[in-house]
Structure 1
Amino acid sequence: MASDAAFLDVPGPHGTRQMRVSSPLRVLWPASGITKLDLARYVVEVGDAFVRANGDRPVTLQRFADGIDGEQFFSKNPPKGAPDFVRAVPVVYPSGRSHSQLVIDEPAAAVWAVQMNTIVFHPWPSRAENADNPDQLRIDLDPQPGTDFDDAIPAAIELRAVLAEVGLEAFVKTSGNRGLHVFAPIEPAREFLDVRHAVIAAARELERRMPKQVTTAWWKEERGERIFVDFNQANRDRTMAGAYSPRALSHAPVSCPVEWSELESIDPRTLTVLTVPARLASTGDPWQAMSENPGTIDQLFGWWERDLANGLGELPFPPDFPKMPGEPPRVQPSRAKHPEAGA
């Protein structure tokens, strides 16, 4: 029914836009009772910080037609009928194929994405007009079975020290699940493979310092009860939930930027669609100044080359990537064929 809609006035850089939200009472998070209209209001309330973190970047939308318990799909290309203020830019995928991808430039564009049943926003680490060269170094600290959020905290703190040694200022946010995401602004001077190698270099250094707590092992059977540094999130077209993006989990958590000073006391389960707007209004955005002092990955890349010289080579790529130069076999160790002893 045409009347089954709500309208929101959404301020932005080009004035206030009135945005239509159909099926506003559709429940997206059943356990929390949070509706589509609640989500639209959320992205308006956090709009400036959301766009500052995720705007001017190619973005993948994770969409759920019937809430988080229903079917989901990922949307990259601009659909027909998109508003004229929602733009797209050409990007190149790992296959070499080029295609247009959406960009969120203002809060009204985020509301439009919610109207299309988007719950999770996955921005690229590069800007729209320079999509091949990341301006963010991103490191995903992923707790493995037997570990949890509290185990990721000391790893993040030590990672901050590692990055400081190479002249990079680290920022941290909750993943919205059990992990942490550590970002550092960088000059967009190198392409994705170089940035991936810089991430691997930082990850290996962190693993050397915390071998019992941290691992770079790609194969799950080798990780143990440690924090996995997911270096493959640094690849082209590999993204993580953006800052202030909701997550599709039962309590409607948000991937929320936090201050380093509060990291050891924060409970990520309290950072939700219902609570983050008030927190942001009260304490401000910990990431507001992130882009002001970008560093370079030159020293990290030097570490990568040092490790190469010492026999530490390339690490496996995701299974959907083409075979990459220097990559080890994509076979988990327990399935690899080993020559018989003495053969």
Structure 2
Amino acid sequence: MAAPPRIPRGGEACSVNVEGREVRLTNLAKLFWPDLGVTKADLLQYYADVGGALVPHLTGRAMVMKRYPHGAAGDFFFMKRAPSPRPEWIRTCTIEHRSGNVIDFPIVVDLPSLLWLVNLGCIDLNPWYSRCDDTNRPDFLHFDLDPGPGAPFPRVLEVARILRETLTELRMPTFVKTSGSKGLHVYVPIRRTPLQKEVWTVAKALAFELAVRHPHVITAEYRVAKRPRGRVLVDYNQNAWGRTLASVYSIRPRPDATVSAPVSWQEVDAGVAIDDFHIGNVPARVREIGDLWAGLLEGERYDLSPLVDALKPVRKRKDPEA
């Protein structure tokens, strides 16, 4: 594998040859984390360094852009439509929404398109769960473990282990990563058979069952005002169509530039922490151990259809129009 390109640290703008394409980079000296002395050039260099592991997880998926033009502590805005003008080699994914609005999302297919996206001020990366050839059939079932007030991070680790045990009983392969913010993300690779709403329904059923079995540590209550204190939300709702989570290897706009890093279940059992992974050490970790989430793309995929079918009678009893 070729060495990652080096991003110039001096100057305001330049063009860098990346895999045979000229990528225009701007505002390189701008401080994105002033307290850390981390510039936009450092942000780009990070993504260049981890790009070999990251790009396969983004390829072919619509990207929702969360842009931070003034750095991690500044105001941000969301953008879905690929900006114009843009390089002719930037590909797009055309998705029609329920409103009838048709949006051409940018997609990442290689390192040049990744760096082009990051140069727009995207600190973390937010891909769809489905690929562009069928945006209503996702590749993953996932859970966002989000600690509420009074729930320390060790409780998130406890809930992750409970969730892993439950999913293992169902013979589901599981992959875990830090969110880079407050919690953990647990993903299950699935066959692209069920529709997004059906995947959401399974995730909801599992989350509520866990909350019934472990009410002292888990909640599935989505309304913030009604969540009991000290619980970890097993958030199923991010499985809804068009929702996104920060991707694996995403830097988060937090004071320490922490990263949503893939971890092993052994590390979870040993007491991993959010601050263990940041812009300064994740590239070296990837060089040393590779991509712990490679199996999410290349390994066994779970057939969710039996669970989808089992839940259909329940839905029909509760909702005659289901």
TM-score normalised by length of structure 2: 0.89
Aligned to 1:113: 117
How far is the alpha carbon of 1:151 from its aligned partner? 1.1
Structure 1 residues 93 and 155, CA gap change in structure 2 (3 angstroms): farther
Structure 1 residues 303 and 182, CA gap change in structure 2 (3 angstroms): farther
Does residue 145 (structure 1) correspond to residue 152 (structure 2)? The answer is no
Instruction: Tell me the secondary structure at the aligned position of residue 124 of structure 2.
Output: strand
Equivalent AA in structure 1 for residue 215 of structure 2: P
Deviations for 1:180-225, whole angstroms, at most 9, x for unmatched residues?
1111111111211101101112212222331111111122222112
Does residue 247 (structure 1) correspond to residue 252 (structure 2)? The answer is yes
Does residue 294 (structure 1) correspond to residue 301 (structure 2)? The answer is yes
- State the distance in 2 between where 1:84 and 1:160 align: 44
218, 234, 248: which is aligned to 2:239? Answer: 234
Equivalent AA in structure 2 for residue 5 of structure 1: A
Structure 1 residues 305 and 158, CA gap change in structure 2 (3 angstroms): farther
Does residue 5 (structure 1) correspond to residue 32 (structure 2)? The answer is no
Alignment of 1:1-343 (within 5 A): 4-10=12-18, 15-224=19-228, 225-264=230-269, 265-291=271-297, 292-302=299-309, 304-305=311-312, 308=315
Deviations for 1:56-102, whole angstroms, at most 9, x for unmatched residues?
11111111111122221112111112222221111233545332111
Structure 1 residues 248 and 7, CA gap change in structure 2 (3 angstroms): same
Deviations for 1:256-287, whole angstroms, at most 9, x for unmatched residues?
11111111332211211111101111121110
How far is the alpha carbon of 1:171 from its aligned partner? 0.4
Instruction: Tell me the secondary structure at the aligned position of residue 142 of structure 1.
Output: strand
Please tell me whether the aligned partners of residues 77 and 101 of structure 1 are also in contact (alpha carbons under 8 angstroms).
Answer: yes
Please tell me whether the aligned partners of residues 30 and 250 of structure 1 are also in contact (alpha carbons under 8 angstroms).
Answer: no
How far is the alpha carbon of 1:52 from its aligned partner? 1.6
Count residues with an aligned counterpart. 309
Equivalent AA in structure 2 for residue 229 of structure 1: V
Aligned to 1:340: none
Please tell me whether the aligned partners of residues 144 and 227 of structure 1 are also in contact (alpha carbons under 8 angstroms).
Answer: yes
Deviations for 1:294-320, whole angstroms, at most 9, x for unmatched residues?
1121243255346548x8x58xxxxxx
Q: CA RMSD in A?
A: 2.1
- State the distance in 2 between where 1:197 and 1:42 align: 37
> Which moves more between the two structures, 281-290 or 95-104?
95-104
Q: Tell me, which stretches of 5 or more residues in structure 2 are unaligned?
A: 1-10
Instruction: Tell me the secondary structure at the aligned position of residue 119 of structure 1.
Output: coil
Please tell me whether the aligned partners of residues 93 and 237 of structure 1 are also in contact (alpha carbons under 8 angstroms).
Answer: no
- State the distance in 2 between where 1:208 and 1:77 align: 41
- State the distance in 2 between where 1:303 and 1:165 align: 17
- State the distance in 1 between where 2:147 and 2:155 align: 7
Deviations for 1:138-178, whole angstroms, at most 9, x for unmatched residues?
21111001113221112112212222233321101111111
Instruction: Tell me the secondary structure at the aligned position of residue 142 of structure 2.
Output: strand
How far is the alpha carbon of 1:5 from its aligned partner? 1.9
- State the distance in 2 between where 1:41 and 1:303 align: 48
TM-score normalised by length of structure 1: 0.84
Equivalent AA in structure 2 for residue 288 of structure 1: A
- State the distance in 1 between where 2:152 and 2:99 align: 35
How far is the alpha carbon of 1:46 from its aligned partner? 0.3
Structure 1 residues 221 and 306, CA gap change in structure 2 (3 angstroms): farther
Equivalent AA in structure 1 for residue 311 of structure 2: W
Instruction: Tell me the secondary structure at the aligned position of residue 132 of structure 1.
Output: coil
